[in-house]
Amino acid sequence: MKKCYFCHSENLKEELVDFDFWWGDRLVLLKSVPALVCQDCGEKYFTPDVSEKMKKLARKAAADESAYEKLNVPIVPFDETVAA
């Protein structure tokens, strides 16, 4: 059994996760990616095969964004005033 690199827990479980990452200047959200998830700190691990497919999917999505559902997210500057 693998150990978590960050918290050294051995409590890792295979799960399908949503994973967001930047591909160039585009943010891509991949849905239902198989990962090994640390049940203690939440860190996600992907096999080399899965990582490779994630890159290919991101490249495919960047080439034809119209084929995919979109998510609108707020873009918030950190110096924005907030209530205490």
Looking at the Cβ atoms of 1 and 71, the one nearer to Zn ion is: 1
DSSP 9-60: ---EEEEEEEEEEEETTEEEEEEEEEEEEETTT--EE--HHHHHHHHHHHHH
CB of 45 to Zn ion, least distance (A): 10
Told to check if 4 binds Zn ion by CB under 5 A, we report yes
7-66: contacts with Zn ion (CB under 5 A): 7, 9, 38, 40-41, 43
Binding site for Zn ion (CB under 5 A): 4, 6-7, 9, 38, 40-41, 43
